[in-house]
Amino acid sequence: MTLPLLLTGPMLRHCDVDHFTLTLVTSEPLSQLTLTLGETQHLLADDAIECLELGTHAFFYLIYLSKPGLNSLDTCIPYGLSDSHHGDLLTPLTQLTYGDNQTPNLVIKPEIDTLLHGSCRNAHHHSSDAMVAADTLLENGPDVAERPALMMLSGDQIYVDDVAGPMLYAIGRVIEILGLYEEEFQQAPLTHSKQISYHPAAMYQRHKKLLPRTEYPAGSALVRWYINHPIFTSSIAENHLVSLAEIVALYLLTWSPELWQLIDIPKEVTGLSPANQQRWQREWIHLLEFKAGLTKVRRLLAHLPTYMIFDDHDITDDWNLTAKWEQAAYGHAFSKRIIGNALIGYLVFQGLGNQKDKFSAAILPQLKQFLAGREEAQHDELIDALLGFDQWHYSLNTSPKLVVLDTRTQRWRSESNLAKPSGLMDWEALMEFQQQLVGQEKVIIVSAAPMFGVKLIEAVQRAATFIGASLLVDAENWMAHPGTANTLLSIFLHRKTPQQFVILSGDVHYSFAYDIGIRFRTQGPQIYQITSSGIKNQFPEKLLPVFDKFNGWLYGHFSPLNWFTKRKRMSIRGRRPNGMRSQRLINASGIGLVSFAKDGAPSKIAVLHGDMSTTEFLPPRQSRKG
């Protein structure tokens, strides 16, 4: 079988006036790389190239060039990459450029006038892929100068815990085709990843036969007799990934149009129950639709600097939701390995591209040492280092300043009950966040979960927590933990905070926008909660309109019930999607498109859907405080 040289990429990552970051995966090692930026050629030294060997035919490359004044601002910069053996690496790729351009290009915008943002891209979901619509937006854009400054992906770029049967079959083929490296397991039903079967008859069984289970009574007040329950709590974990090779393969299939051409997934399979046979065929059709758009997705990622942060499904559902979950997950060798493998995958394919320097001192050398030796002890040591790493968050020196929060690994654990939801950030992390705001007049905050969510849904989650079912309803929101909620609200209420807060979120699988002010205060700050979710996912269609209607009745702007909530000092008004009178929530896959005025306030809040239709969240008719 002849493999294409480029398996994924080129993907633009952290790019500004002083930095250029590009990632790609190749089937062969490259040599003597030359990067062309505009009219300048850069013969790349070893310190500008990171090569991570993920398999016999899988080489991850991170090109990282750092130099004062490297890139000109607000102008189109063509770029290219070549090596001494293969020559030009990018031009042979089909449909990589827009219009008559021969090479891809980028625009550096330190002033964020427009950006794209979104989360939750599930390959086999029946909804359309909004990234394809975002590519069409750039393709039909009237001027390169009007291109969004960046794209922010705020979680669930992949679903490690929710994998379609046909996708798992494709993952098995990719592992075989590329020779992705295998591993040994401890305290698991299998001793080696080579023993994993990818035959269709083995699909949809992992939650019963492979995934680890606890060895202590469940923490629920109602089901204390229920013992030996699953550590991984997703209700659709039948094909939950476990090995690092599987994680690598999923990332490649999420972004690569080429690999799909090498895999023939059967539509008709044997060995499945009638229900799973129908499920396989539905997923098979949805994956056909997904892979049909990947060429456009690759073109989008080759032209727009893209930043990422994890949420739970990048690792596993309910990741670190409660301290009790953490005890179970990290106290079991096999579940710890599964979580660690997903975190290694995030580091390679997402984290490194955000800001490589954060990982250069300790994590990157340890990662390279593990990949070079591939010993089990090195594997475990790397996972321990990643689980203890506390610098996943980052900020961009843009205007407005963009601050990306880690709401997963610095949790404020409940002191009253280890089974209650942990706060999304602990006190130390929130104080560091507050320091990021000092001296700023305007700021964009990226929080995977909305800081100001739909109050009725949060009330349902709180009721579920009361009866011991916090994991069942994913009861994680900023108001779920008193310490986190009060500290966060104090930051907004502080008189030295910025005058304009724009909060970008995802996670919830529906979209909405709030205008938020401070009651009984005549001067700022003004806060905007903008939630766009999912890029390829949706909330249950029949349920969301009910929540939307009852939330409006119970927690509308003038409702006295607001005075019994933690955010009673806040004046919250929901924006109307396309001017609809009684609706505030939109349940359709899409990617957020936000434009900013000079003072940092959003001048337009919209969601671009897969069919190229647009939902615009219109400002409230009256702007009231008090």
pLDDT digits (tens, 9 = 90+) for 434-443: 999 988 999 9
| Under 8 Å between Cβ of 318 and 474 | yes
Rounded-to-integer distance, Cα 457 and Cα 463, Å? 10
Residue 563 has pLDDT above 70, yes or no: no
Please tell me which residue, 220 or 107, carries the higher pLDDT value: 107
pLDDT at residue number 552: 74
The two beta strands, 500-505 and 442-446, are parallel
Per the prediction, the chain carries an average pLDDT of 91
Residue 577 has pLDDT above 50, yes or no: yes
pLDDT at residue number 220: 52
Residue 261 has pLDDT above 70, yes or no: yes
* 13-27, 127-141, 546-560: the lowest-pLDDT one: 546-560
Residue 185 has pLDDT above 70, yes or no: yes
| Under 8 Å between Cβ of 103 and 97 | yes
Rounded-to-integer distance, Cα 243 and Cα 254, Å? 17
- Taking only the tens place, the pLDDT of each residue in 481-496 is 889 989 999 999 887 8
Confidence of residue 620 (pLDDT cuts 50, 70, 90): confident
| Amino acid, single-letter form, for residue 486 | N
- The pair phi, psi for residue 584, each rounded to 5°, is -125, -20
Q: What percentage of residues in the chain have a pLDDT greater than 70?
A: 92
pTM exceeds 0.75:
yes
pLDDT at residue number 442: 96
99: alpha, beta or left? (left if phi > 0; alpha if psi -120 to 50):
left
Confidence of residue 228 (pLDDT cuts 50, 70, 90): low
Q: What is the CA radius of gyration of the chain?
A: 24
pLDDT at residue number 469: 59
- The pair phi, psi for residue 459, each rounded to 5°, is -65, -40
Confidence of residue 625 (pLDDT cuts 50, 70, 90): very low
pLDDT at residue number 236: 86
Rounded-to-integer distance, Cα 45 and Cα 42, Å? 9
pLDDT at residue number 555: 66
Residues in the chain: 626
Q: What percentage of residues in the chain have a pLDDT greater than 90?
A: 76
Residue burial 46-75, b: 16+ Cβ < 10 Å; e: rest: eebebebebbebbbbbbbbbeeeebbeeee
pLDDT at residue number 310: 98
Residue 525 has pLDDT above 60, yes or no: yes
* 3-7, 344-348, 349-353, 548-552: the lowest-pLDDT one: 548-552
Residue 275 has pLDDT above 70, yes or no: yes
Mean pLDDT of 75-100: 95
Burial grade of 148 (CB within 10 A; 0-12, 13-18, 19 or more): buried
Please tell me which residue, 531 or 559, carries the higher pLDDT value: 531
pLDDT at residue number 222: 46
Q: Which residues pair with 76 in a beta bridge?
A: 107
Residue 578 has pLDDT above 80, yes or no: yes
Confidence of residue 626 (pLDDT cuts 50, 70, 90): very low
pLDDT at residue number 471: 59
Return the ∠ at Cα 519 (arms to 516 and 521), rounded to 5°: 105
pLDDT at residue number 262: 95
Residue 225 has pLDDT above 50, yes or no: no
pLDDT at residue number 482: 86
pLDDT at residue number 569: 76
Confidence of residue 343 (pLDDT cuts 50, 70, 90): very high
* Nearest one of 293, 289, 193, 305 to 249, comparing CA atoms: 193
Mean pLDDT of 196-204: 94
